[in-house]
Structure 1
Amino acid sequence: MWEKFYSKNGLTAKYIAKELLDVEVGEKIPRVTDYSEKLSIGRGTVQIALELLEELKAIRLEARGHLGTFLMDKDIELLQEIAGISPLVGSMPLPYSRKYEGLATGMVGAFEEMGKKLNMSYMRGGLNRLEAVRTKRSDFAIVSMMTADNSLSKYPNLKIMKKLGENSYVSSHKIFLADVNETVVRSGMTVGVDMDSLDQKELTFSEFEGMDVTYVHINYMQLYDMLDSKKIDAAVWSLDDKRITKTFPSINFQSSKAIKISKDTSEAVIVIDREREEEISEKWGSVEIEKILVFQQEVESGKRIPKY
């Protein structure tokens, strides 16, 4: 069956499949004559192409005499495949917190509600996710505004396509301490820092700047165990990670630089390759950021079960 798409009829079906993605179920489709004139091909070729799409169950049509032919049903994913339109592929942080579970649920759910498929990958480190966009392994990356601002000057081919608003990425960061008797940061501490996480790295270096501390390079997924075993004395991390917030005492940033960076890390943004903006915007379509945020908030509040 799929071999037929290499024929003239098949190429016509590919074009019509793309056109029908924009036709709502229940609406009248363009006439065979319209397609024939637009593509400069015979009416018979158009008719065979439509029959091929029906045979594959990509669409279901209903002829209503002089009223025209109506689209009664369509398989959006199949139409996209026939038209050569692959689903968007995005990357975001590992969903270790309810906020990130909500964001993942919002991304997938908002696309599904618009009849679109979205493939998400979960990757540690904003710089790693941006590199995936640069190397075309991802169509877009979700990172913090701070990471985007710090990286776009180095990579002019990248740009912010959409902003999700304050507190969409993290609620806030604090400094977590291994010793319950500690109330301030001090010289002599051993501090955990994840060099792959630009947010965590910049916040850590800003807060401890000028202090005589020893940095231990770790994966942020190891923070809990490193604090619990007292292999590190302190680490900067998100309040959204309830496992850590329930176990270790935390204190606010004292450095004005760290306080400023902390605000910039709260907003999630979507970064793309600017040369692919038209293509990605077309695939994104009418999916609304507001809908993504509603899903996220419902997951955070417990009103919705995470699904991603």
Structure 2
Amino acid sequence: MSRIDESLYSKNGLAARYISRELIDIEAGQRIPRVSDFTEKLSLGRGTVQGALKLLEEMRAIRLEPRGHLGTFLLRRDLNLLYEIAGIGPTIGVMPLPYSRKYEGLATGIIEVFEKIHKRAGLAYMRGAIPRVEALKSRRYDFAIMSLLAAEEAVTKFEGLEINKTFGPESYVTSHKIFFSKTECSKIEDGMRIGIDYSSVDQAELTLLECDGKKVELVEAGYMQLFSMLTQGVIDAAVWNADEEKTLHTFKSSDFHSSKAKELAAKATTAALVVETARERVIEQLEMLDTNEVRLVQQQVIEGEKYPHY
């Protein structure tokens, strides 16, 4: 057991856990709530509050300065230590593998904006919206990033999920296109072998809509395998993210011909953040995530003005 754990098992230590949560959002140089404010809000005695504040100073989580009738001011705080004392772990999200500059920018934007508001956060990466939803439901992660198209399907299919934020058109991908293994092809036709990844809601739904009414063979494959399968001629065509420069420059491509596919493709360009409705503390953290600032950082990464870091 660490020294910190031992200190927090006392009555004052338990109070310090609650008070540290209140102090996380107070900037250095600002006045902290009065002792009476803490006693009223947290239902603690004055002596307990005073003992908890003293304990936090002894642990070097904070440094306070009384200024008479002006109140007590926070001179310094150790945010990581305050989070540890409060028992608040980092908020962890899951998003697609960052194989495109757009995904790198989105990941960088989320991490930077969380850092700016002094919230600990991290990202994990997983291919396929369906596996990401399953990981969210099992609470391996606190939130999941996917397209608005996939997010709407997820909240319809799984009870207890909600779309917390959307990041605007072309925040997820610029577009999807149909890529062909042969240069003479310009649309999906009867007899073709078409790659499909059922774990990716966007890719699968767009593929099925574009192939509707055509006599084609659907070849199931992982999204990241489609490139090599097109190269080797194992499949004749596949729907792919047009932000992947290697694919865009290697294969001939075309826009969708199906009107329904075109409609859904537009919705698939928007990034959405999905969370469990019951996760009130997570939702509280996410409310402070400014989507406009995330998009600004994303654009800086796309344009090469900022190095991606995630």
* 1:67 paired to 2:76: no
Q: Is the 8 A contact 1:178 1:230 kept in 2?
A: yes
Alpha-carbon offset, residue 39 of structure 1: 4.7
* 1:237 paired to 2:265: no
Supply the distance in 2 between the matched residues of 1:36 and 1:215 (Cα, whole angstroms): 65
Unaligned runs of at least 5 residues, structure 2: none
Q: Is the 8 A contact 1:187 1:211 kept in 2?
A: yes
SS of structure 1 residue aligned to 2:53 = helix
* 1:304 paired to 2:306: yes
SS of structure 2 residue aligned to 1:153 = helix
CA RMSD of aligned residues (A): 1.6
Q: Is the 8 A contact 1:87 1:283 kept in 2?
A: no
| TM-score after normalising by structure 2 | 0.94
Supply the distance in 1 between the matched residues of 2:82 and 2:169 (Cα, whole angstroms): 37
SS of structure 1 residue aligned to 2:257 = coil
Q: 1:78 aligns with which of 71, 76, 81?
A: 81
Q: Name the amino acid aligned to 1:76.
A: L
* 1:55 paired to 2:55: no
Q: 1:208 aligns with which of 206, 211, 226?
A: 211
Alpha-carbon offset, residue 164 of structure 1: 0.9
| TM-score after normalising by structure 1 | 0.94
Q: 1:258 to 1:49 in 2, by over 3 A?
A: same
Alpha-carbon offset, residue 285 of structure 1: 4.4
Unaligned runs of at least 5 residues, structure 1: none
Question: What residue in structure 2 maps to residue 187 of structure 1?
Answer: 190
Q: 1:38 to 1:141 in 2, by over 3 A?
A: closer
Alpha-carbon offset, residue 179 of structure 1: 1.1
- Structure 1 window deviating more from structure 2 (98-107 vs 256-265): it is 256-265
C-alpha distance after superposition, 1:210-235 (max 9, x if no partner): 21211111111112111111111111
Q: 2:38 aligns with which of 35, 38, 42?
A: 35
Question: What residue in structure 1 maps to residue 159 of structure 2?
Answer: 156
Supply the distance in 1 between the matched residues of 2:40 and 2:213 (Cα, whole angstroms): 73
Alpha-carbon offset, residue 173 of structure 1: 0.5
SS of structure 2 residue aligned to 1:22 = coil
SS of structure 2 residue aligned to 1:129 = helix
Aligned ranges 1:1-308 → 2 under 5 Å: 1-2=3-4, 3-36=6-39, 38-39=41-42, 41-276=44-279, 278-308=280-310
- Structure 1 window deviating more from structure 2 (205-214 vs 147-156): it is 147-156
Q: Is the 8 A contact 2:132 2:144 kept in 1?
A: yes
Aligned length: 307
Alpha-carbon offset, residue 33 of structure 1: 4.5
Q: 1:154 to 1:36 in 2, by over 3 A?
A: closer
SS of structure 2 residue aligned to 1:184 = coil
Supply the distance in 1 between the matched residues of 2:287 and 2:74 (Cα, whole angstroms): 20
- Structure 1 window deviating more from structure 2 (260-269 vs 38-47): it is 38-47
Supply the distance in 2 between the matched residues of 1:34 and 1:263 (Cα, whole angstroms): 50
Supply the distance in 2 between the matched residues of 1:248 and 1:38 (Cα, whole angstroms): 63
